[in-house]
Structure 1
Amino acid sequence: MTTNVLSTGRMTEQGTPPAALPRVTAPTRVAPRDARGLSKLFFDQLAELEEGTPEFQYARNTLIEMNMSLVRFAAARFRGRGSGEMEDIVQVGMIGLIKAIDRFEISREVEFTSFAVPYIVGEIKRFFRDTTWAVHVPRRLQEARTLLARANEELHSRLGRMPTTSELAELMSLPEDEVREARIASNGYTAASLDAVITGSEEGEGALADFIGDEDGGLALVDDFRTLAPLIAALGERDRMIIHWRFVDELTQKEIGERLGVSQMHVSRLLTRILTGLRAGMLTTS
């Protein structure tokens, strides 16, 4: 144990430890082997200290810093998972370490490392489970996806082909409907970029965005309505009523003629004149 890391002293306002504990001036630099022995000593004292006191905070904070190597060890297992930087994973693992320290009891006669690593790994796994999905799906389906992947792999290697839904359901001990639901949900785990290049398509090669969706005819109608509205507003009152009766109330030309007191032929000529003017106005505006 290096002397430049440890020294002794009493607790003061500056945060030195009580006489029963050594002062660890650089907790993160303590070797893992030394950290195991020191952790036992600190946990012994932590159980006797009053929570919230400076002495308690010193012991707890030192335990956290001394055992950060456990977090880095656990986080290394998740390197290259394709989500989040290693710094983010370590930060999540630190939450697991803190939970382990707060829940550890020295009376259990188990090594703290054996107790803490499952907490750290569990927190990191929860992070990946909750943040790597491209779309939100219920927790039960996230967990079912993991079971589905394992079952697929096992049956594929055993059968030499992709398993059927009924075969998966039997292995997973789930109803077939839940297996289908898990398969659909697994599509939300990752999302392809719209700029991703698609090859081998019957329509040729290009970006994914070029092959999905279709033109929305309704968008053209919106433009037409915006152009047409002021033209109709500029019509005379009688012409606006004729348009309303014909295309909103859906009256026949005969019924419109009866309301105006004119013949059906005259209504036809009026409609032709009004519509011709509106079309000309739209062409001029566009």
Structure 2
Amino acid sequence: MTVAAISQAGTDTRVVELPEVTDPRHVAPKDARALSKLFFEQLTVLEEGTPEYQYARNTLIEMNISLVRYAAGRFRGRGDDMEDIVQVGVIGLIKAIDRFELSREVEFSSFAIPYIVGEIKRFFRDTSWAVHVPRRLQEARVELAKASEELGSRLGRSPTVKELAELMNLTEEEVIEARLAANGYNSSSLDAALNGDENGEAALADFVGSEDPAMELVEDFHALAPLIAGLDARDRQIIHMRFVEELTQSQIAEHLGCSQMHVSRLLSRTLKHLRESMLTTR
């Protein structure tokens, strides 16, 4: 059974036949690979925001849940509920679907697995630490623990900072920084009563300011602003219409007098440029 949909690309209009998948989550992996390619082809011609577009995108997500479960299996035994890990992995799957292009000439599964695994690893990294610590210091903490155990067994005593620095091929300052960062792995409850309080009622939370959620965006905005300013006028206009005015690609194409496909290519190219530039400046 198929579902007929009207797609528009510039002035061309044609009918696209969408296969109706009754139970996408139970499609065999082999069949999912073949169907996924067909659905990705349809996403390039269907108008974003239409029921047909959403059907194609949602079906892709559900058909490829098996990829998420496969990737999540690597993280069994970490102490978290497997369904929670799968839900996090689905976020990576959705990102992969939104960024995949058939022109890459690679299997979608090969493209999606790094996104899924990366999202799960980010989940563990961000939720395992009591406070946010840069990744290099998180990794240094692990190496510091290994080096301390090795030297402790060899020397029969706690190693000095100098000895750790020589073994880890780091400076003494870097070893000290890693030790300080390790303190962020565990924390005390903010509700715990403070020792020495006369009334015995004061808690640490009473003396800690609240976190401004917008602060996390400051660094990103600061890095992104000059990159956007460096775009040409047309690319800046497309970015503004898509993410500020929240217009669909077809509406942008109508405003600029070009095809939706052309807008999609321009937008993909610009976002790729911004993304790579952001990663370079970090």
Could you state the TM-score of these two structures normalised by the residue count of structure 1?
0.56
Equivalent residue, structure 2, for 1:37: 34
Task: Kindly provide the CA deviation profile for residues 216-240 of structure 1, in whole angstroms up to 9, marking residues without a partner as x.
Answer: 3x63899xxxxxxxxxxxxxxxxxx
Say whether 1:21 aligns with 2:21: no
Gaps of 5+ in 2: 7-14, 202-282
Give the superposition deviation at 1:159. 10
Residue type of the alignment partner of 2:59:
T
1:10 to 4, 8, 25: 4
Residue type of the alignment partner of 2:105:
E
Equivalent residue, structure 2, for 1:219: 198
Say whether 1:97 aligns with 2:93: yes
SS at match of 1:10: strand
Q: Distance in 2 between matches of 1:155 and 1:187?
A: 16
Say whether 1:87 aligns with 2:80: no
The change in CA–CA distance for 1:99 and 1:164 in structure 2 (over 3 A counts) is: farther
Q: 1:67-78 alignment to 2 at 5 Å?
A: 67-78=64-75
Give the superposition deviation at 1:8. 2.4
Say whether 1:136 aligns with 2:131: yes
Equivalent residue, structure 2, for 1:57: 54
SS at match of 1:189: coil
Equivalent residue, structure 2, for 1:146: 139
Q: 1:151·1:171 contact (CA, 8 Å) conserved in 2?
A: no
Give the superposition deviation at 1:109. 0.4
Give the superposition deviation at 1:191. 5.7
SS at match of 1:9: strand
Q: Distance in 2 between matches of 1:68 and 1:62?
A: 10
Q: Distance in 1 between matches of 2:37 and 2:56?
A: 11
Q: Which moved more, 1:165-174 or 1:179-188?
A: 165-174
Identity %: 61
Q: Distance in 1 between matches of 2:82 and 2:61?
A: 19
SS at match of 1:74: helix
Q: 1:159-170 alignment to 2 at 5 Å?
A: 161=154, 165-166=161-162, 168-169=164-165
Give the superposition deviation at 1:68. 0.4
Q: 1:230-249 alignment to 2 at 5 Å?
A: none
Residue type of the alignment partner of 2:174:
E
Residue type of the alignment partner of 2:125:
R
Residue type of the alignment partner of 2:58:
N
Task: Kindly provide the CA deviation profile for residues 53-84 of structure 1, in whole angstroms up to 9, marking residues without a partner as x.
Answer: 111111100000000011111111112212x3
Task: Kindly provide the CA deviation profile for residues 62-120 of structure 1, in whole angstroms up to 9, marking residues without a partner as x.
Answer: 000000011111111112212x3222111111110000000000000011111101101
Equivalent residue, structure 2, for 1:106: 102
Matched pairs, number: 188
The change in CA–CA distance for 1:116 and 1:214 in structure 2 (over 3 A counts) is: closer
Could you state the TM-score of these two structures normalised by the residue count of structure 2?
0.56
The change in CA–CA distance for 1:220 and 1:190 in structure 2 (over 3 A counts) is: closer
The change in CA–CA distance for 1:221 and 1:55 in structure 2 (over 3 A counts) is: closer
Q: Distance in 2 between matches of 1:35 and 1:161?
A: 54
SS at match of 2:49: coil
SS at match of 2:20: strand
Give the superposition deviation at 1:153. 3.6
Q: Which has the higher contact order (CA 8 A, sep 6+)?
A: 2
1:186 to 178, 182, 203: 182
Q: 1:145·1:183 contact (CA, 8 Å) conserved in 2?
A: no
Q: Rg: which structure is higher? A: 1
Task: Kindly provide the CA deviation profile for residues 117-148 of structure 1, in whole angstroms up to 9, marking residues without a partner as x.
Answer: 11011111111111112x2143x1x4322234
Q: 2:140·2:178 contact (CA, 8 Å) conserved in 1?
A: no
